[in-house]
Amino acid sequence: MFDTAQAQRPVQRPALRAVPPAPSPAPQMPSASAVRHPSVADESVAPTIRHWLAAALDELDYGIVLLFDDMRVVHANEAALAELDECHPLQLTGGELRARLARDVAPLHEAVTAAGNRGIRKLLTLGKDGQRGSVSVVPLEAANAGPRAVLVVLGKREVCESLSVQGFARSYGLTGAETRVLMALCDGTPPTQTAQLLGVAVSTIRSQIGSLRQKTGAESIRALVRQVAVLPPVKGALRRNGSTRSHGWLPTLLHSAP
């Protein structure tokens, strides 16, 4: 016979589990190929990439000038705009990079031409007397075997730049007096002359040097100066004229790549 008690027994159903919400999609970042070679189809990405590249160059504490089609300046970073003053052997004139002295015109032009046409690197020393400066001329290969661009890197005028010293001083909690002594040491000024320049006793300078070594862990003055000299070539928080600028650059070169 049919068991009514069994028929009336409630059916056990598995408990329902809450389905977790689907994770939010990750923000879409440009692909590696798009970053290296943005094309016309990447119009939404290319302006951002150009801004990043120009901003990255502006963070470097080395002057960088990008040339295309002989001496035509495509881009100069902030450090270059600050370096190329009336004392530098190179100058920006009419959208071109030119040598200030007549005797430097031919060597500069030959180096840029060799880099653009034959892919040859060259280190030049330009100017005279106290206004001499070194520049590296570097060829930049095109991705599609097209014409090369040429990178001109300006040499540093000082072993330790002022902003680098100030940033180093802040990171180690140096006093204003200790920072001034450190800047003098980085300039190669001996303690006796530093004391004369700052109007204090030599014993005071030596005491401050001892404090500098203790705070930074440097074993000697040479080791202390080396710590500053090998800092990453990145600018401090201070900007040239305290301003930023638009980073629109290289539209032709970037869009010509496949």
Q: Looking at residue 9, what is its pLDDT?
A: 56
Mean pLDDT of 58-68: 89
Task: Find the range with the poorest average confidence among 24-28, 59-63, 227-231.
Answer: 24-28
pLDDT of residue 251: 41
pLDDT above 80: residue 143: no
More confident residue, 49 or 251: 49
Residue-wise pLDDT for 40-60, tens only, equals: 445 667 788 888 888 888 888
Question: pLDDT by residue (tens digit) across 192-238?
Answer: 999 999 999 999 999 999 999 999 999 999 999 999 888 887 765 54
pLDDT of residue 253: 43
pLDDT number for residue 101: 93
- Residue 248 has a pLDDT of 41
Say yes or no to pLDDT of 147 above 90.
no
Give the Cα separation of 77 and 240 in Å (integer): 11
Decide if pLDDT at 252 tops 50. no
Residue 23 pLDDT > 50, yes or no? yes
* pLDDT > 50? residue 242: no
| Domains of the chain, each with CATH number or no CATH | 44-157 (3.30.450.20), 162-229 (1.10.10.10)
Asked whether the beta carbons of 64 and 80 are under 8 A apart, the reply is yes
Per-residue pLDDT for 25 more than 80?
no
* Model confidence band, residue 153 (pLDDT cutoffs 50, 70, 90): very high
Mean local confidence (pLDDT), 6-28: 52
pLDDT of residue 58: 87
56: nearest Cα among 35, 77, 29, 81: 77
Residue 135 pairs with which residues in a beta bridge?
Answer: 124, 154
Average pLDDT over residues 137-159: 85
Of residues 89 and 1, more confidence is placed in 89
Quote the pLDDT of residue 207. 96
Average pLDDT, the chain: 79
CB 117 within 8 A of CB 70: no
| Distant-in-sequence, close-in-space partners of 109: CB < 8 Å, separation ≥ 6 | 70, 71
Stretch 111-119: mean pLDDT, rounded?
93
* Long-range contacts (CB closer than 8 Å, 24 or more residues apart) made by 35-39: 36/143, 36/257, 37/143, 37/254, 37/257, 37/258, 38/254, 38/255, 38/257, 39/255, 39/257, 39/258
pLDDT at position 247: 40
